[in-house]
A and B are shown apart, each in its own frame.
Chain A
Amino acid sequence: ETGVTQSPTHLIKTRGQQVTLRCSSQSGHNTVSWYQQALGQGPQFIFQYYREEENGRGNFPPRFSGLQFPNYSSELNVNALELDDSALYLCASSLALGKNTEAFFGQGTRLTVV
C-alpha cells in the first residue's frame, strides 16, 4: 500500500470524447508524475508536476494536459480520445525533485477507448 490512490480504476470512453483521471498523492509528497503504460510495454513518461507547475514533459501531444492542486493531488486530462490512448495510466508521487528520490505508484486507471 503506497498511499497513492487513483480514480477511477477502470474507464471506457468513445473515440473523440474527453477524459479526466485523478491522482491523490502520498501525504507530504509535492511532486506527481504521470505515465502511460500500453499493453506489454513499460511506462512512458507523460509529464511531471512540482508544486502546481509543470516540470518536464515527455513526447505526448498537447491534448494530454494536467493540473496539480494546492494539496498536491493531480489530474490528467486527455481530449479527443483516440483508440491508441487505450492503456494503463499511472501516477507516481515523490517527496521532492532531485536525484534518486523514491517514487510511489498508484494502482493505475485502465482506460479503454472504443
Chain B
Amino acid sequence: TQLLEQSPQFLSIQEGENLTVYCNSSSVFSSLQWYRQEPGEGPVLLVTVVTGGEVKKLKRLTFQFGDARKDSSLHITAAQTGDTGLYLCAGENNNNNDMRFGAGTRLTVKP
C-alpha cells in the first residue's frame, strides 16, 4: 500500500512541452523528497522540501510543498528527452526513520 499517491501514473509528451506531476497524501510529512530513477539504476535525489508552501527551482524544474505539508508538485518547463524517467516522491515524518515512497510517475519525452 502506497502512503503517497502520485499522478499521473504515466505521461507521454513532446519535447518542448510543459508538465506537472503530483504527489498527494493524507499524512503530514516533516520533509518530502523528489527522486528521478532511470531503468536499472537507483533513485537519484533531485530536491528536498521542508517548509509548508516552499518553492524550490532547479533549472527547468520547479518543486512546491503544500502549505499543510501533505502534498507536493513538480513542474517541468520545456521538457527535453533527457527528462525521461520515473519520478518518485518520498515523505519522511517525525515518528519514523524511514522514507515512504509513492509509486512514481513514468515520464516519456518524445523528440
Binding between chains A and B = yes
**Contact surface of A with B, Cβ cutoff 8 Å:** 2, 4, 33, 35, 40-45, 48, 50, 55-56, 58, 90, 92, 97, 99-100, 102-108, 110
Which of B41, B50, B92, B104 contacts A42 (CB under 8 A)? B104
Which of A4, A97, A107, A110 contacts B97 (CB under 8 A)? A97
Q: Please indicate the chain A residues that have their CB under 8 angstroms from the CB of B102 in the complex.
A: 42
| A2 and B50 within 8 A (CB) | no
Is B42 an interface position by the 8 A CB rule? yes
Q: Please indicate the chain A residues that have their CB under 8 angstroms from the CB of B75 in the complex.
A: none
**Contact surface of B with A, Cβ cutoff 8 Å:** 2, 4, 6, 30-31, 35, 40-45, 48, 50, 88, 90, 92, 94, 96-104
| B98 and A104 within 8 A (CB) | no
A42-B2, A43-B88, A100-B50 given; A105·B43 CB < 8 A: yes
- Shortest Cβ distance from A43 into B: residue: B101
Q: How far is the CA of A64 from the CA of B110 in the complex (A)?
A: 40
Q: Please indicate the chain B residues that have their CB under 8 angstroms from the CB of A44 in the complex.
A: 101
Q: Please indicate the chain B residues that have their CB under 8 angstroms from the CB of A100 in the complex.
A: 30-31, 48, 50, 92
A42-B104, A44-B101, A56-B97 given; A99·B30 CB < 8 A: yes
Which of A50, A55, A102, A110 contacts B45 (CB under 8 A)? A102
| B42 and A106 within 8 A (CB) | yes
Q: Please indicate the chain B residues that have their CB under 8 angstroms from the CB of A110 in the complex.
A: 40
